[in-house]
């Protein structure tokens, strides 16, 4: 074949593209199984009934979520259907308030606010916001904060009030708890959990 | 002038206008970092950012549409089919953009319900526009695809460039369908969202700008069709060869299997290679024509496209793409640095070149030159380079202090954001952002003002 | 990866591609304007790129697979400019002999 002939390269372009697309299709089918709810890396929504940790795994060379004992959210164990409803609302909150145009989730979004992947586990809740809001549980402090973030700033760059109702705030907290249980191949790395209880 | 070329000028006008709107909201977004209480609870950062990134997508898309409508009749030797529909959809497009912008400005958010998704804000980056608007955009793109394909059929003529364009339109429109769903599972949501974003800006748009540049090279430098078509095929082969599985560099941390770290990192690392070939090609063309051309600004912007595409997408991307680095650089101002540089090098420079082609050919000036374009060229390029260097400084500080040392907690984020290196980076970005804005003003002025012709010195390339 | 290793490694990777780009640009400029000095300068750039690849391979905490990829890339970067040039030249001379 003459490499000066455009049809040689046209054949190359078509075949390369097709081969890559086929490989991508196979990988996507496999990935969907892993990332669907209940898949290897993404737990079912009722994981919010349990304690969630994040610990370094030496064989994986990455931190991985650790699902622990029962720890119902807001003191109430939910069924899978109830959890799914909460998640649906939580995700709609995140979209309708454009949270990912300030924050990142899994590192995707905007960089004005902190990453929320492990925010459920952030030491700021027990160390800063529980005292500030006067709440006795992490989740109650999160709800109070989300409903009135402008009342509880921690630095000059404060979070604005996005008019969340209490139901929306609770759903968002549930969503953030579930999110922290997703296996993200170790992102974010070195995450500190000092003061991880309550 | 063909009717579609008149439409093209309307698209170009809208594109340049939205380029200005984009810069306005870019400056505002940058200001929040320096004055965080600015417009607090009135107009927050996220809304400013939405207007900045969405106008980016729209103005570049309008530039592409304008470029295709400009060249299509010349390629196929006849008026574009379905022009009344195309002219109508232009106004539909503008109206949709205007209404969405007004809702973003004055309504901003809705409740956590389907009504918000349909009419206010979908909150997914680049495609925040509510679903009704996404339907409008799909309609515009389908009409565009119809115009292109129907004209090819009626003309009973296909060129290599047209084949590539037509085939590229299929995934271009298809992946936009991901602008609609609100998937609860964030991993699945992001998996398909990246098909839209990556397959636009790192695949179908690359092919689209390749087609446009092929047409411009024939026009501005008189390069032969066989040469530009050969290069287009090589470019498609290499860019899609690396870029399709290079999609995997967005699949490191969203819950996807570990094999994406290897696959995504490997193919992503290959992406700079074809870009180096383009740099060689650009220098070859520069030398062959001894820097002489009928259209000085277009020529310089095309050459800059090749260089800054290599640097912004190639070098900046390579710095942060390997998983061990990306784990710590992901989702920081480092990403912002790369994003700005890559978009600018890969697309903005090329669209500006096309605008100057239109300027010359509508004015009838034999050789286009002048002084204003040089000021615009300088201010925009220096402004962009300054911005990305400031963002790189801030991003490296953020990755170092916030992620590597601090572990990405809230306190780590706060500490990194108050670090002097980070703050300096933000000030530098602001300063050079203003320079960039000044460059835009000069560019807009130059595009609208009477053309400056320069005397032709020596033989000039004839259009192919 | 330690915090300093993060910045060092990223900087080395960026400089590696920059040097490769410098090689490609200088080589091309040297060929088109018939300046052997520019081609030699391009060669120096490639040598720098290869040296950077070696430093990356020896000194950084990247996994072995990536180090191998970078070393292999350095070799490929060497070949791209002359190969592209030869191809371009042949194509243009055949298609545009009047130039």
What is the average per-residue pLDDT within B305-323?
94
Separation in Å, CA B447 to CA B22, B270, B353, B357, B384: 18, 37, 11, 10, 20
Burial A177-192 (b: 16+ CB within 10 A, else e): bbbbbbbbbbbbbbbb
Q: What is the DSSP-derived secondary structure letter of residue A41?
A: S
Taking each helix axis from N to C end, the angle separating B45-76 and B349-363, rounded to the nearest 10 degrees, works out to 50
- Six-digit token string for B333: 């101002």
Going from N- to C-terminal start, the domains of chain C cover 3-95
CA distance B283 to B281: 5
Lowest-pLDDT choice from A105-114, B15-24, B295-304: B295-304
Coil vs helix vs strand at B435: helix
Whether B29 maps to a domain, the answer reads yes
ipTM above 0.90, yes or no: yes
For B323-354, the pLDDT digits (tens) are 999 999 999 999 999 999 999 999 999 999 99
The pLDDT of residue A194: 46
Would B2 be classed as within a structural domain?
A: yes
CATH number, domain with residue B78:
1.20.210.10
Assess if residue B230 is contained within a domain: no
Flag if A114 and B408 touch (Cβ within 8 Å): yes
A57 at B interface, C-beta within 8 A: no
Give the residue carrying structure tokens 């940058």.
Answer: B30
Which fold is adopted by the domain A36-179? Cytochrome Bc1 Complex; Chain D, domain 2 (1.10.760)
Q: Which residue of C has its CA nearest to A5?
A: C91
For residue A24, which phi and psi values (nearest 5 degrees)? Answer: -60, -40
- pTM over the 0.90 mark: yes
How far apart, in Å, are the Cα atoms of A157 and each of A107, B42, B424?
A: 19, 15, 17
pLDDT averaged over every residue in chain B = 93
Interface contact C69-B400, CB threshold 8 A? no
With cut-offs at 50, 70 and 90, classify the pLDDT of residue A195.
very low
Is the CB of A32 less than 8 angstroms away from the CB of B188?
yes
Interface test with B, best of A100, A125, A185 (most B CBs within 10 A): A185
Q: Would you call C96 and B227 a contact, using CB atoms and an 8 Å cutoff?
A: yes
∠ Cα B370 B375 B376 (to 5°): 100
* Alpha helices in A6-137, H assignment, sequence order: 6-35, 80-96, 124, 130-133
- Token pair in block for residue B338: 């790369």
CB proximity C66 to B under 8 Å? yes
> Chains that contact B by 3+ CB pairs under 8 Å?
A, C
Hey, which residues 318-357 in chain B have their CB within 8 Å of chain A? 327-328, 330-333, 335-336
Mean pLDDT of B2-6: 96
Among the residues of A103-165, which ranges form H helices?
124, 130-133, 138-147
CA distance B275 to B235: 9
Please state, in angstroms and as integers, the Cα–Cα distance from residue A121 to each residue in B35, B190, C90, following that order. Answer: 29, 22, 62
> Does the pLDDT value for residue B290 go beyond 90?
no
Is beta strand A50-57 parallel, antiparallel or unpaired with respect to A62-70? antiparallel
Q: Dump pLDDT digits (tens) for B53-90.
A: 999 999 999 999 999 999 999 999 999 999 999 999 99
- The answer to the question of residue B287 being in a domain is no
pLDDT at residue A196, rounded to an integer:
40
- Domain residues for the domain of B160 are 1-182
Nearest-CB residue to A98 (from B36, B121, B328): B121
Domain ranges of chain A: 36-179
Distance CA A48, CA B217 (A): 58
Cβ pair A3:C87 closer than 8 A: yes
Helical H segments across A50-136, by residue range:
80-96, 124, 130-133
Are the C-beta atoms of B368 and B325 separated by less than 8 Å? no
C-alpha gyration radius of chain A? 21
* Range C58-84 average pLDDT: 95
């Amino acid at each position: 074949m003459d490499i000066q002939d455009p049809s040689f390269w046209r054949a190359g372009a078509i075949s390369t593209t097709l081969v890559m697309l086929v490989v991508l299709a196979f990988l996507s089918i496999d990935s969907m199984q892993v990332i669907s709810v209940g898949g290897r890396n993404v737990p079912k929504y009722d994981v919010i009934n349990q304690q969630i940790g994040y610990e370094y795994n030496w064989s994986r060379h990455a931190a991985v979520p650790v699902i622990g004992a029962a720890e119902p959210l807001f003191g109430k164990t939910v069924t899978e259907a109830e959890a799914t409803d909460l998640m649906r609302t939580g995700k709609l909150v995140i979209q309708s308030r454009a949270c990912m145009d300030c924050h990142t989730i899994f590192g995707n979004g905007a960089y004005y606010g902190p990453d929320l992947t492990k925010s459920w586990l952030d030491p700021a809740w027990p160390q800063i916001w529980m005292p500030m809001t006067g709440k006795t549980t992490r989740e109650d402090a999160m709800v109070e904060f989300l409903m009135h973030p402008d009342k509880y700033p921690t630095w000059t760059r404060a979070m604005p009030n996005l008019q969340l109702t209490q139901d929306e705030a609770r759903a968002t907290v549930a969503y953030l708890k579930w999110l922290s249980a997703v296996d993200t191949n170790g992102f974010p790395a070195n995450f500190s959990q000092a003061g991880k209880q309550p | 002038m063909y009717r579609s070329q008149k439409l093209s000028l309307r698209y170009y006008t809208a594109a340049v206008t939205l380029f200005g709107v984009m810069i306005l909201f870019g400056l505002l977004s940058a200001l929040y970092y320096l004055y965080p209480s600015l417009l607090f609870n009135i107009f927050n950062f996220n809304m400013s950012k939405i207007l900045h990134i969405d106008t980016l997508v729209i103005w570049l898309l309008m530039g592409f549409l304008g470029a295709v409508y400009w060249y299509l009749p010349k390629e196929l030797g006849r008026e574009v089919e379905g022009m009344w529909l195309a002219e109508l959809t232009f106004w539909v497009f503008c109206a949709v953009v205007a209404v969405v912008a007004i809702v973003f400005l004055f309504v901003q958010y809705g409740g956590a319900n389907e009504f918000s998704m349909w009419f206010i804000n979908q909150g997914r980056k680049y495609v925040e526009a509510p679903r009704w608007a996404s339907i409008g955009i799909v309609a515009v793109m389908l009409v565009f695809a119809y115009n292109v394909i129907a004209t090819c059929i009626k003309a009973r003529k296909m060129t290599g460039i047209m084949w590539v364009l037509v085939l590229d339109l299929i995934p271009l429109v298809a992946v936009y369908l991901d602008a609609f769903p609100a998937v609860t599972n964030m991993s699945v949501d992001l998996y398909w969202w990246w098909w839209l974003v990556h397959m636009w800006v790192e695949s179908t748009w690359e092919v689209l700008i390749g087609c446009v540049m092929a047409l411009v090279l024939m026009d501005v430098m008189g390069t032969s069709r066989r040469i530009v078509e050969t290069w287009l095929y090589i470019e498609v082969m290499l860019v899609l060869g690396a870029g399709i599985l290079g999609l995997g560099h967005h699949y490191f941390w969203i819950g996807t299997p570990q094999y994406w770290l290897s696959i995504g990192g490997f193919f992503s690392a290959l992406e700079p290679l074809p870009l180096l070939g383009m740099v060689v090609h650009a220098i070859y063309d520069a030398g062959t024509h001894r820097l002489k051309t009928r259209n000085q600004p277009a020529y310089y912007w095309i050459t800059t496209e090749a260089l800054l595409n290599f640097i912004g997408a190639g070098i900046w991307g390579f710095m942060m793409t390997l998983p061990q680095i990306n784990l710590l650089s992901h989702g920081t101002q480092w990403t912002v640095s790369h994003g700005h540089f890559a978009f600018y090098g890969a697309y903005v420079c090329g669209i500006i070149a096309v605008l100057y082609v239109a300027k010359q050919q509508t004015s009838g000036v034999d050789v286009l030159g002048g002084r204003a374009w040089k000021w615009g060229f300088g201010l925009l390029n220096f402004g962009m380079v300054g911005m990305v260097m400031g963002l790189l400084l801030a991003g490296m500080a953020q990755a170092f202090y916030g992620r590597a040392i601090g572990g990405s907690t809230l306190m780590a984020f706060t500490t990194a954001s108050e670090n002097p290196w980070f703050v300096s980076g933000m000030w530098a970005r602001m300063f050079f952002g203003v320079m960039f804005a000044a460059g835009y003003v000069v560019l807009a002025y130059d595009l609208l003002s009477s053309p400056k012709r320069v005397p032709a010195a020596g033989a000039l390339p004839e259009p192919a | 990866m330690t915090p300093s290793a993060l910045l060092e490694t990223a900087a080395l990777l960026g400089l590696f591609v920059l040097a490769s780009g410098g090689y490609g640009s200088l080589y091309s400029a040297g060929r088109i304007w018939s300046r052997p000095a520019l081609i030699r300068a391009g060669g120096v750039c490639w040598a720098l790129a290869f040296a950077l690849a070696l430093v990356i391979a020896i000194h950084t905490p990247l996994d072995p697979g990536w180090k191998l990829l970078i070393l292999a890339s350095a070799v490929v970067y060497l070949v791209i400019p002359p190969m592209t040039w030869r191809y371009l030249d042949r194509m243009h001379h055949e298609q545009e002999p009047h130039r």
